[in-house]
Amino acid sequence: MTPTRAHLIIAAGGTGGHMFPAQALSEVMLRRGWQVTLSTDARGARYTDGFSHAVAVREVASATFARGGILAKLMVPFRVAGGILGATLRMWREKPDVVVGFGGYPTIPALAAAWITRTPCMIHEQNGVLGRVNRLFARRVDVVACGTWPTALPDGLVGVHTGNPVRAAVLERAAAPYMPPGDWPMSVLVIGGSQGARILSDIVPAAIACLPAALRAHLRIAQQARPEDLQRVIAAYGASGVRAEIETFFRDIPRRLSEAQLVISRAGASSVADIAVIGRPAILIPYAQATADHQSANAHGLVAGGAAVMIPEQSLSPDSLATAIASILTQPAKADQMAQAAVELGLPDAAQTLAALVEELAQKGAA
């Protein structure tokens, strides 16, 4: 009789910041022979194109108080309770070996079910501050894995620093050779994340227009923008005579990162991890409305290590950003040093480290 494969349930919320590290762990666990199920909601299901077809995707009932009208908010407890009940019944039936939560409201059913059924369980926090759901479960799981170090944890709680797992497509370009800026076409990649990207659409094209004409002539911009901002961003670059490719979402971020001379980005944990593993100079602009200012915490490591410049939103203007861009793109030696510093700070083995914790939990659970 063929032995039953070990079964991992990965629970992740509906943003790339949660889904990309979840995808990275799934890739490693599949290679190690595990059966993998992804538990997410309809929003998270939009990010499953990058997951292997071998991963079973299960949409669960969940909700958040942050969206919808009064009626939707009143229904939140009932939807969450229904999701927990369904997940608990399935967990009793399937008996998975380990459950790992990556944050976000859609992880509540799987994490709660794991706690109820006493299934070995772990959470992974990508940011330097615990998210709401991870904070709720931090004392109810066996391991708290931390992507950013240090991570602010509740008193008495000890975390394990694993780093933030990056996808195979990023690992394939880890420490890719860097071409410093010079008198040739230079690529600038602008990525905004799922929240708060509008300010980048407002400021970045204006900052590029402030640069000296000789520098602008060499630039090739690739920028993510919200659908409602696309046309005005395209028009702004057209007015300054800069070649630009503007899309709502780039599906080939690892390639674009590896070809960039400079990255301008929010400081989401996954973006910071990708920038470090591939190794590129960055200007990081933390999202000011992020819970507990966790994006500033995410940026701290690259800034302190000399790999990035951070501009808080309250200090962001076309002039301040143009000055930062010029200081990197007109100093090739500085840019090259920043790229090398990023590589030294990257943790390409984060997914392997997390996978080892999963297998350790499974062994303890089977003992």
For range 7-30, the mean pLDDT: 93
Q: What is the 3-state secondary structure (H, E, C) of 30-97?
A: HHCCCEEEEEECHHHHCCHHHCCCCCEEEECCCCCCCCCCHHHHHHHHHHHHHHHHHHHHHHHHHCCC
- For 22-58, the pLDDT digits (tens) are 999 999 999 999 999 999 988 888 788 889 999 999 9
233 in a structural domain = yes
Q: What is the pLDDT, as a whole number, of residue 75?
A: 58
Q: What is the pLDDT, as a whole number, of residue 256?
A: 97
178 in a structural domain = no
- For 242-262, the pLDDT digits (tens) are 999 999 989 899 999 999 999
Name the pTM for this structure.
0.91
Q: What is the pLDDT, as a whole number, of residue 2?
A: 44
- Reply yes or no on whether the pLDDT at 146 is more than 60: yes
- Reply yes or no on whether the pLDDT at 86 is more than 60: yes
Same domain (yes/no): 248, 306: yes
- For 338-363, the pLDDT digits (tens) are 999 999 999 999 999 999 999 999 99
256 in a structural domain = yes
Same domain (yes/no): 32, 117: yes
Same domain (yes/no): 24, 93: yes
What gap in Å lies between CA 183 and CA 186, rounded to an integer? 8
Q: For residue 16, give the CATH number of its domain.
A: 3.40.50.2000
- Reply yes or no on whether the pLDDT at 367 is more than 90: no
For range 91-116, the mean pLDDT: 95
Answer yes or no: are the C-beta atoms of 215 and 326 closer than 8 Å.
Answer: yes
Q: What is the pLDDT, as a whole number, of residue 187?
A: 98
Same domain (yes/no): 236, 268: yes
**Phi, psi of 155, deg, nearest 5:** -55, 135
- For 270-328, the pLDDT digits (tens) are 999 999 999 999 999 999 888 888 999 999 999 999 999 999 999 999 999 999 999 99
For residue 312, cis peptide bond before it (omega within 30 degrees of 0) = no
Q: What is the pLDDT, as a whole number, of residue 65?
A: 47
- Reply yes or no on whether the pLDDT at 108 is more than 50: yes
For the record, the structure tokens of 289 come out as 């409305």
For range 116-123, the mean pLDDT: 97
Handedness of CA 343, 346, 352, 356 (dihedral sign): positive
- Reply yes or no on whether the pLDDT at 73 is more than 90: no
DSSP 8-state secondary structure symbol assigned to residue 356: H
The share of the chain scoring above pLDDT 70, in percent, equals 93
Residue type, 309: V
Q: What total number of domains does the chain contain? A: 2
Domain of residue 221 covers 186-345
If one counts every other C-beta atom within 10 angstroms of the C-beta of residue 242, the result is 19
Same domain (yes/no): 202, 141: no
Same domain (yes/no): 194, 264: yes
Same domain (yes/no): 239, 209: yes
